[in-house]
Structure 1
Amino acid sequence: MSIGAVVRRIRAYGGQFLLLGVLTVVITLLISGVPRITNRLTEQGLREHMAQQLPARRDITYTIGSDAGSSVPSNASAGQNRLDVLQEAMPDHVRPAVSERWYVADGPVGRLTGPDLKRNNLLVELGLRAMPAVPEAATMVDGRWPAEDVARDEPTQIALSADTARKLDLRVGSKLQLALPESKVPSVPVIVVGIFAPNDPSDGVWDSLPQLLRAAEPLGDGQPFIAVGLTTIGALDHRAAEGVWLTHSWRYRVNGDALDAGRLDLTIDELQRLEQTAPTGLQVVQGVDVPLREFRDALASARTLLAVIAAGVFATLAGLVLLAAGLAARRRRGEFALLRARGGGSTTVARRTLAESLLVTVPAAAVGWLLGTLVPGAPDPTVPYAAAATVLIALALPVAALATSGGAGRRDLVRLRPSARRLTLEASLLVLAGLAVVLLRRRGLTLGEVDPLLVAVPVLLAAAVAVLALRAYPWPLQLVSRLAARARGSVAFLGTARAGRAVVSAPLVVVVLAIATAGFCAVVSSGIEASRDRAASERIPGDALVTGDRLAPDTADALSRLSGVRAVAALATEPGQRPARTKVGLDAGINQVSVLAVDAPALARVGEAAGREATIPPAMLAETGDGPLPALVSPAVATDLARAGLDGSAFLSLQGQRYEFRVADTAESFPLVTPGTERFVVLPLQALPDRPTVAVPTGFVVAGDGLDTEALRRTGDEGQQRYQRGGVVSGGERPRGAEVQTWAASRQEIGEGGANGLLAFGFASGAAGGTVLGLLAIAFTVLAGARARGQVLSRLRTLGLSRRQWRGLLLVELTPLVGVAVFTGAFVGALLPLLLTPLLGLSAFTSGMPVRVAFEPGLVVAVVALGALALAFAVAIEALNNRRLRLGEVLRLGEES
């Protein structure tokens, strides 16, 4: 068997081998390229996730006081030298991830005095800090940096941030005295030699506490400003030599770019062991393992979901390969029969087709693999999988050739009854699919691992439902055919009769599997998006949330006057309160709860105006009431109150006043309660009884269109100032301004970062791939019966069937087949999420909100549109095939084309 003969046969059947080669390229391209894409998206997601974290969750901090384990004060110079030593001692997977590091030496906070402070009657406490990294991260506005070589008996030189200097009304040249309270160390003179401004306020160098850039405002009358002055290592060494105890900290920032997403478990374990392996006397504080653990859980869920999608896509491709091989073998049935008639055996046919298949699939697999290597991203060791796939594809044609019978009977005129073997196989498939579903639901699965059972369930379920559809759909068609036989015209009768006798089981299963994969992606994606909307609405049940320390009650009217605002609801929060038995505060022996008081009727109006209605117990909507306040409590609190016999009457403190409440209803969560809070009590703010001190709002929920965030923030700040200055004794400026959070920003935050990019890629590729492969499978379904339909149409055309009637007959025959395939696939796609969603851990992508799969009218519209597209595609394929076959020639005796 020469290569030339093999090449000639490939050229003779070029279309069939081209299809087999294209499928090979696609499969090996996916095997080679998809892992690269997932690895790239995983690394990108890890970087984004770490970049979104607060400094406390990105830093590893070693701290030590000079009195820890030693009676001799250590100096700052020795502490600075340990910056390299501590990093070198870190575990192997943690040390390379450190991108920035800072050493900080702090002296104790002392009382600062001087003429400039006395002039403004300011009370100030100052701490001295040495931080060698600051000069590179700041610009000197006035003066110079403190000098390192200052004699011990000279004043300590300090530099202040521009904000601190402004608040304290200090300038370059200000002379001060710093005295440590309850210390035998004499006060030391301090002089301001420089005022600096940060180059980038978000730089990690400024994250040390207390803040170096900003002086903390007094919390009340008689309270001091808290400020930090920057000095030198040498100046703190002088203080240490005088007997002042210093505090040292070495802070290392972990960069997400340097972390290996494939070794998250090892990194997390090493981070948790840092506290045990820290040098003697050092305390280690790190929160890096928390975001890494969150990302790992989300990544495990995403990979599990991707495994389900990949199983559907690859199973569909495998089915298409089998269909292509079967179609090629049927077209060459006469050739194989002639080979056997000339003395060839089954091995002859197998060798011939295997040589042809290898000559096509091996180069195609190499091309697909090389194209996959061009995809950016880290590779995975997938060469064995690509080689195995190539071998299986190459064997598909020989197996199909051996399974093809040599006869050419008239199969278009009789109804083929399934054999006992086939019925047994189908019944076994149904039982196996049912057992697999039950076993998966009972056993569960380990997220992040490719579970064979999880991979098999979608394929088995799609095949089982397709078999049921195949057995069921001819019955209504036969009834319609009988009714059409009594009517005038032959198109409807012939079309329904032929559709009822169609035998396309294998192509239909592939279509169902492809459409089910696309439907699964669409349904789960829609469920996740809806759950993210609910999660954002739990945080902000309106369009914006304005929060502060305490805001004047008339802030609600001020917010209502802003442009676009349609509704406003007040709220007050106070965490860490213990329920009491009596008004005087007799403890009830119940753990602490978070208290939320909200204007329930106003919140209902806000939710309605924003399109996010909150479920509020009717009892809480009353404006006033007698007796205990009706409260909504979490199940854990309700259980504790019932056990203590206080579900009908208990007391809680809110802003210094105790209020009696009763349990009106229970709920796992409530809008404005921090997600994940298991112990909370919600009180009706509008129904609070009169007290000497009225409960003041700490925030407002706003609903409206085109809200101006800056105007909301400014109005909140003004409300805080009015409250602060509205009492008998006016306080100072609040330490923080009002904060504004919008629903849109919260929703965007939930849907971005982490492994969401990987999840979006899985949904997009699964939906698009399933749709395209489904259309391709429909083309195979059409081509599987093209010869028989061509013969019938040719005979009918010779009997006078017009071109218009021919098209109508084709449409009537193909509509049931395509409709059953598409809608069965859509049904399986909607059924799979109901079975698998509780097992996939998708709440990692919805901020803890459970994902519920619900009916979406848009999905029905999409299915109908897909069915129409599939039908048009099927009719076009049939028309092209009939034009290529030239219907007038298929009636020739023995023609099998």
Structure 2
Amino acid sequence: MKILPLARVQFGAMVVLALLTLSACALLAGLPRLVQGSFDANLHQSLRAAMASQVDLAVRVESRSRQEDLREPSQFAARDQRFRSILPAALRPVVGPVGTGTGHMSAKTWGTPVQGSGGMTFVNLGWLSDAERRVRWSEGRAPGAPGTMTYQGATITVFEAAVVEEARDKMGLRVGDVRVLGESDHVAVRIVGLFAPKDPADRYWSHHPDVLRVTEVQPPGKLDLERHTTALLSDGGLTALSGEGRNLVYSWVLPVDPAAPTSLGVPDVTRAITAYGRVVGLQPGGGSQYRLETGLPQLLNGYLAALSTARTVMFLVLGGLLAVAVGVIVLAVHLLADRADEALALARARGGSLRQVAGAGTALVALAVVPATLAGYALSWLVPGPVLPLVHAGPALVCGAAVGFAAVRMALAHRAPLRERRDDVAASRPSARRVTLEVLVVGLALGGAYLLRTRGLAAGTAGDDPFLLLVPIALTVAAALITIRCYPYPLRLFVRLAARGPRAVPFLGLTRAARARSGSVLPVLILLPALAVSVFASVIAGGIAETQRLASWQDVGASLRVSSPIELPADAVARVRAVPGVELVVPAQTASVQLGFGGERADVIAVDLGQWRRVLDGAPISVPAMPAAGAGVPALVSPELRGRGTMDVGWQTRVKVAERGVVPSVPGFFARGKFLVVPYEINERPTANTLLIKGDADAEAVARAVGRPRAQVSSQAESLAAIESAPLTGTVRVVLLVTTVALAAYALVAVVVTLVIGAADRARALAFLRPLGLTERQAQGLTVLEILPMILVTALVGLALGLGLPAALGPGVDLSAYAGGVAVAGYSPGLATPALLAAGLAVVAVLGAYAHTAISRRRAPGAALRAGELA
């Protein structure tokens, strides 16, 4: 049987099928790549934001004797090469080459006290393999080879070293000073230079915060602070640095490229790190054992845990798109098969075998579907992102479903030549087995939703809990079954009411709608998942947008916030108040204070909470009012400090504060840990180092008004823009928008195709009624009343299901990864999108009804009726 002549006759239906297939394949193959690409980009961004000391792989070993000492840089380089040679295959693409990124080698002492300081001053000695290209000498010169001196009758080594500029200011270490180190095994250090980092923001320095700044620690039971710094040695100094008599650690840092790991490869990388740690521990190292130190597995696993539910919800939306797209394409195949049935039946009656006839019909569908599938698959490669199995499986499933449905339908429709089919025979009642199965599906769906809400996610499964995948599907199927079974009953009530009226059109239209068999309404039920998923996507998008705004306010704590490590003078505060757009400025003071007389410390903010509440007027966050004062200074404390009553706080002076309430967090300042909120006047001389600003002033103008280079200005608008511009956040908005639009379009196409599929039967009914006096207006009303109830019922059920899915999924929907780390706690769905979707469906149904009656009006009754049916 020739296919091309049949394809020319059915060209319009084939074009519709091809366009639907093309769009579905492009979306189903492109969107997963876009989503997975955003997952990878967000992973890379989180690794770049983390400290290099957490991300990189650091191999360390202690030297405890001269036999274990490394005296030459070449010895470090040889072991670095050994550590790289034993890297597992999964880690080799992740670790950068030698000399790149943050990779380096080092040797540092720790706990090295300055003689005569009473154990309150420590100067450690350190060698960095790449110090020359990391620091600049601001005073003095670079260190040279060590020398010797006599101390307490013994000859000791004198190391030439350089210290950071801050050590000069806080520890009094100046160029030319000589300090003796150690309590028993003495050495001396001569300060020959001061240095500053060439790039203080370089991630490299997170490996050596002790080199870059002075560390201050308050020992328990003491009011004075211990001060620690690490002085840099030259390669010559390394030759005299020994672990005998002091604490000495060698380190080899293998740099991890933050852009190398992928979210799909995280499990392999974490397993490889564990295996690498075991292998490193087996390397020969004298009397000490090598150990691997890295926070990368915790970072990767924490990222996946935060992303798992959000990933599942995204692919749940894409799964709904797949189901709806396949359903609409099957409808289009149904339309093409109906139009080609007459020609195929004639070929079958003329002696064509079932294989020939069914094969011809299947080939006709394949002629439209296969090229469109390949074209859509090819278009998806224009979307950047990794290739997932779903990229290949989606188009293949669409093509297979279309061709497979065509083959089965053709084989069943043409089992026998000229097989007579009667559409006016009453449908059989559903069997008890079928009813039992449907009741079981509904019960399981409701039970699954209840369990998901009450028990939450299964422990250790996060977003991979099967309940989170199966419950939405089960709820959609249950809603579809209930709609199929229940929608005729309210219609029959309206039929009874219409039967009492004087007009026949409402009675006839509603009667035809109520008597529609289950099989005839199945195509329309494609609207249910389409509407449910599209409304669900719009509700999720709205919830994410609201939470992003909330997260930005929680991050800053005001419209603008000025933070300074030193006191802000009164004239700077006055200049800020004069900046255009500034409505209100509330000064505050933050500090780390001593609790009691031991080493326990807590963060504190002194602020007028009443004024701060005015700053937050109209914002989605607020702060509590300060309770009335009683004995002592009133304070709001964190949950960690709950129940302590009155506390002695060491700040500018010793102050007794009394607990007056508990706050879980302070917007813009504290989210966890030990902290207090006290009145601004707690100190004798209130000094502001923080300003909380209300208004829409420009952040740069505020920074210029402050006039302090170390002061930082944070803006709620900029924080919101940063959250919205994150790769993951931007992608989820695009995916949800595209999915909503695509599902709405598929729903409208389903309505049109359904109208066209039922056109022949509808034309036949109108052909019977027109000779009895049915007018054109009545024909249009009859058609609308026949198709509109099912569409409206399905639309309402789909809208209700979409609005209820977030609440039904309950704790399974955790979208904090898309909202700046803040949990999307509430969904307040707007009615704009649901109303537009329902109105669009109704308008398309009405327009289709009018178009159908206009077309059928031009057809003669003999075109729709068979011989003898008018007799």
- TM-score with structure 1 setting the length: 0.76
Q: How does 1:26-425 map to 2 (within 5 A)?
A: 26-30=23-27, 32-64=29-61, 66=63, 68=64, 70=66, 74-77=70-73, 78-99=75-96, 100=101, 101-106=103-108, 129-136=126-133, 146=142, 177=178, 179-180=180-181, 182=183, 187=188, 191-192=192-193, 198=198, 200-210=199-209, 232-238=234-240, 248-271=250-273, 277-278=280-281, 280-282=288-290, 284-335=292-343, 350-373=358-381, 375-381=383-389, 387=396, 389-401=398-410, 407=420, 419-421=428-430, 425=434
Change (3 A) 1:186 1:889: closer
Amino acid at match of 2:694: A
User: For 1:347 and 1:789, how far apart are their aligned partners in 2?
Assistant: 32
User: For 2:40 and 2:852, how far apart are their aligned partners in 1?
Assistant: 47
**1:432 deviation in Å?**
0.3
**1:392 deviation in Å?**
3.3
Q: How does 1:375-774 map to 2 (within 5 A)?
A: 375-381=383-389, 387=396, 389-401=398-410, 407=420, 419-421=428-430, 425=434, 428-439=437-448, 441-442=450-451, 444=457, 454-469=468-483, 505-548=521-564, 551=567, 558=574, 560=577, 562-569=579-586, 599-608=608-617, 610-614=618-622, 616=624, 620-622=625-627, 624-625=629-630, 629=634, 631=636, 634=639, 641=643, 649-651=645-647, 653=649, 655=651, 657=654, 659=656, 661=658, 664=661, 669=665, 671-672=667-668, 674-675=670-671, 677=672, 683=677, 685=679, 699-708=690-699, 711=702, 715=706, 737-751=710-724, 753=726, 755-756=728-729, 759-774=732-747
Contact 1:536 1:747 in 2 (8 A): yes
Q: Deviations over 1:318-343 (max 9, x none)?
A: 22233223333444555566567667
SS of the residue corresponding to residue 583 of structure 2 reads strand
Amino acid at match of 1:47: H
Change (3 A) 1:295 1:107: closer
Structure 1 residue runs without a partner (length 5+): 113-122, 579-583, 718-735
SS of the residue corresponding to residue 311 of structure 2 reads helix
Structure 2 residue runs without a partner (length 5+): 150-156, 867-871
Q: How does 1:820-839 map to 2 (within 5 A)?
A: 820-839=793-812
Q: Deviations over 1:287-326 (max 9, x none)?
A: 2223212222234223311331122112112222332233
Change (3 A) 1:683 1:190: closer
Amino acid at match of 2:399: T
Change (3 A) 1:835 1:299: same
User: For 2:244 and 2:762, how far apart are their aligned partners in 1?
Assistant: 104
Change (3 A) 1:577 1:467: farther
Change (3 A) 1:653 1:812: farther
Contact 1:783 1:878 in 2 (8 A): no
**1:19 deviation in Å?**
3.5
Change (3 A) 1:46 1:238: same
SS of the residue corresponding to residue 420 of structure 1 reads coil
Change (3 A) 1:36 1:683: closer
User: For 1:428 and 1:575, how far apart are their aligned partners in 2?
Assistant: 65
User: For 1:752 and 1:313, how far apart are their aligned partners in 2?
Assistant: 25
Amino acid at match of 1:253: P
State whether structure 2 residue 1 is matched by structure 1 residue 7. no
Change (3 A) 1:76 1:877: farther
User: For 2:777 and 2:245, how far apart are their aligned partners in 1?
Assistant: 105
Aligned to 1:888: 858
Amino acid at match of 1:522: S
Aligned to 1:776: 749
**1:600 deviation in Å?**
3.0
Amino acid at match of 2:90: H
- TM-score with structure 2 setting the length: 0.77
Amino acid at match of 2:79: R
Change (3 A) 1:432 1:189: closer
User: For 2:843 and 2:819, how far apart are their aligned partners in 1?
Assistant: 39
Q: How does 1:789-800 map to 2 (within 5 A)?
A: 789-790=762-763
Q: Deviations over 1:464-522 (max 9, x none)?
A: 32444455556666666777788899887776666666665212210111111111111
SS of the residue corresponding to residue 3 of structure 2 reads helix
Amino acid at match of 1:8: P
**1:802 deviation in Å?**
8.1
Contact 2:104 2:130 in 1 (8 A): yes
User: For 1:428 and 1:743, how far apart are their aligned partners in 2?
Assistant: 54
Change (3 A) 1:555 1:401: farther
Change (3 A) 1:680 1:478: farther
User: For 1:593 and 1:222, how far apart are their aligned partners in 2?
Assistant: 17
Contact 1:309 1:762 in 2 (8 A): no
SS of the residue corresponding to residue 251 of structure 1 reads strand
Contact 1:105 1:246 in 2 (8 A): yes
Change (3 A) 1:528 1:34: closer
User: For 1:701 and 1:389, how far apart are their aligned partners in 2?
Assistant: 56
User: For 1:540 and 1:366, how far apart are their aligned partners in 2?
Assistant: 50
User: For 1:390 and 1:157, how far apart are their aligned partners in 2?
Assistant: 75
User: For 1:76 and 1:246, how far apart are their aligned partners in 2?
Assistant: 15
User: For 2:496 and 2:54, how far apart are their aligned partners in 1?
Assistant: 73
Change (3 A) 1:31 1:767: closer
Amino acid at match of 1:611: A
Change (3 A) 1:419 1:535: farther
User: For 2:526 and 2:822, how far apart are their aligned partners in 1?
Assistant: 35
SS of the residue corresponding to residue 250 of structure 1 reads strand
Q: Deviations over 1:505-548 (max 9, x none)?
A: 21221011111111111112222332333333333332233445
**1:833 deviation in Å?**
1.5
Contact 1:141 1:197 in 2 (8 A): no
Contact 1:467 1:505 in 2 (8 A): no
Amino acid at match of 1:458: P
Amino acid at match of 2:554: E
**1:282 deviation in Å?**
4.4
